[in-house]
Amino acid sequence: MMTETGELTYRRVHQGSPELLFDCMTTPEHLTHFWGPTGTTTPIGGIVIDLRPGGVFETTMVNDADGSAYIMRAVYVEVRRPDRLIWIESDVEGGMRTTITFVDLEDGRTEVVTHQSNVPSAYLSAQARAGFATSLDRLDLYLAARQE
Amino acid identity, position 94: G
| 68 Cβ contact partners less than 8 Å away, ≥ 6 residues apart | 62
How far is residue 77's CA from residue 61's CA, in Å, rounded to a whole number?
A: 22
Per-residue pLDDT tens digits for 24-78: 999 999 999 999 999 999 999 999 999 999 999 999 999 999 999 999 999 999 9
Q: Which of 136, 101, 118, 123 is nearest to 7 (CA)?
A: 118
Q: Which structural domains are found in the chain, ordered by start?
A: 5-34+78-146 (3.30.530.20)
Give the pLDDT confidence score for residue 3 in this predicted structure: 56
- Read off the pLDDT of residues 73-109 as tens digits, 9 standing for 90 and up: 999 999 999 999 999 998 777 799 999 999 999 999 9
Q: Which residues pair with residue 99 across a beta bridge? A: 86, 115
**Cα separation of 65 and 146, whole Å?**
27
Q: Please, what is the Cα angle at 128 between 82 and 13, to 5 degrees?
A: 35
